[in-house]
Chain A
Amino acid sequence: MSPSAVAQEKKHAPVNMGQHVFGQAPDRFTSVLGSCIGVAFYHPRTHTGAFVHIVLPESLGRSGPEGKFADTAIPCLIRLFQQQGIPIREIVAKIAGGASMFNSKGPIQIGEANEAAVREKLAEAKIPILGEHLQGAKGRRVEFDCSTGILRVEIAGQKPVEL
């Protein structure tokens, strides 16, 4: 994994395309999402959290940071919690993103494909989705707070929503 695959600064870290980050209260992670999906994992008892900015649904043998693809990103976050001795059955997830921008109506709808892949991987791992804010035609600015487990989602021109 390349060093840039992990957002280095915690506390208030921006998580860019294909990056993931792991932290504890009071860390906060921010990201701007279009058709990508942001997945937040949270362990309420220890206020431990992780966030990944997923770009594409499947790696299909392609190289790239683990956070770039849904099928490698979800196992990557699970492994980070396991390494801390945190039981996976106590983890909850919140997800946002998956927009379809530019009036895109083509055969490849990356946002929808990303959402489907993320749901499938979370279901396989039996990680419940406690909040979601998906699809639409607009981008999202999100902030995940490890102190509370709240994922704050902002769409241009709308009131922010807390998941």
Chain B
Amino acid sequence: MNTSTSCSTANMDRMHHLLASATHEASEAMKRWTNGQVSLTLDAVKETPLECVSEEADLGDELLTMVVLTLDGESGGTLILAFDEENGRDLAAALLNRERSSDPEWSAIEKSALNETGNILGCAYLNALTRFIGVELVPSPPYFIQDFGASVLEQALMEQAMCSETALICQTRFQRDGRELSWDVFFVPSPGMRERLDQAVAREV
């Protein structure tokens, strides 16, 4: 196991603080995008054994609608914004100011609305991380996926799996007008990004 990816409790607390700041910036961007309706907060940062990740993330084997942004390069990673069908449709309808679609196929404009949401949230989050770690992070264009949540998270975890038996998982809570939403965002850093984050945490000590 690569011990550089294991965190002490104190370092995990500092990591939580750092990622909470990034989440706060993402939340501010999200509020602007949704006319103040939707906000997010970081609940927990955990080092989780790979085999427990889907359970910890409460993904089960259900189909989800997701927007994925990837970061290439040494400081890489994957950011996944995930919704169940109902919540994804509700968001698209609210953003497009129209009734929720009952068509089983998502239209191009609905997909575009969700992609833009992922892009805004992801770019705000990654801009904050860029400042913390001192490396410019440029994400891929967002893409829309409908798939099993656990299989998408599994793919995102591949780089971590090559050098560690654990993964860093951030649990985030979304709210709309004070009501909890069934949305999730997962940020999965590559080992190189994880090292940069650990260095940023160490600098703050």
Contacts and interface: CB of A to CB of B under 8 A. Distances in A.
Nearest to B53: A17
The size bracket of the interface on A is 20 to 34
B55 interface: yes
B55 A16 contact: yes
Interface in B20-55: 49-55
B146 A101 contact: no
Given A4-B52, A16-B52, A102-B78, A34 B161 contact: no
Identify the interface centre among B49, B51, B72, B147: most chain A CB within 10 Å of its CB.
B51
B58 interface: no
B51 A5 contact: yes
The size bracket of the interface on B is 20 to 34
A56 B51 CA distance: 13
B70 interface: yes
A110 B53 CA distance: 19
A14 B62 CA distance: 13
Nearest to A63: B1
B148 A56 contact: no
A118 interface: no
B152 interface: yes
A32 B50 contact: no
A53 to B, nearest CB: 8
A87 B54 CA distance: 35
Interface in A15-74: 16-19, 30, 32-36, 55-56, 62-65, 68
A19 B54 CA distance: 13
Contacts of A138: 147, 151
Contact of A30 (B61, B153, B161): B61
B189 to A, nearest CB: 15
B155 interface: yes
B135 interface: no
Contact of A101 (B54, B155, B161): B155
B158 A35 contact: yes
Interface of A: 2, 4-5, 14, 16-19, 30, 32-36, 55-56, 62-65, 68, 99, 101-104, 106, 110, 138-141, 156-157
Given A102-B68, A156-B147, 17 more contacts: A16-B55, A18-B51, A18-B165, A19-B51, A33-B151, A34-B152, A34-B155, A35-B154, A99-B151, A101-B152, A101-B155, A102-B70, A103-B143, A106-B72, A139-B151, A156-B146, A156-B148
23 contacts: A2-B49, A4-B52, A14-B61, A16-B52, A17-B154, A19-B51, A34-B151, A34-B152, A34-B153, A34-B155, A35-B154, A64-B1, A64-B165, A68-B50, A101-B145, A102-B78, A103-B143, A104-B155, A139-B150, A139-B151, A139-B152, A140-B151, A157-B146
Considering the complex of A and B, which 3 residue pairs feature the smallest CB-CB distances, nearest first?
A: A139-B151, A34-B151, A32-B150
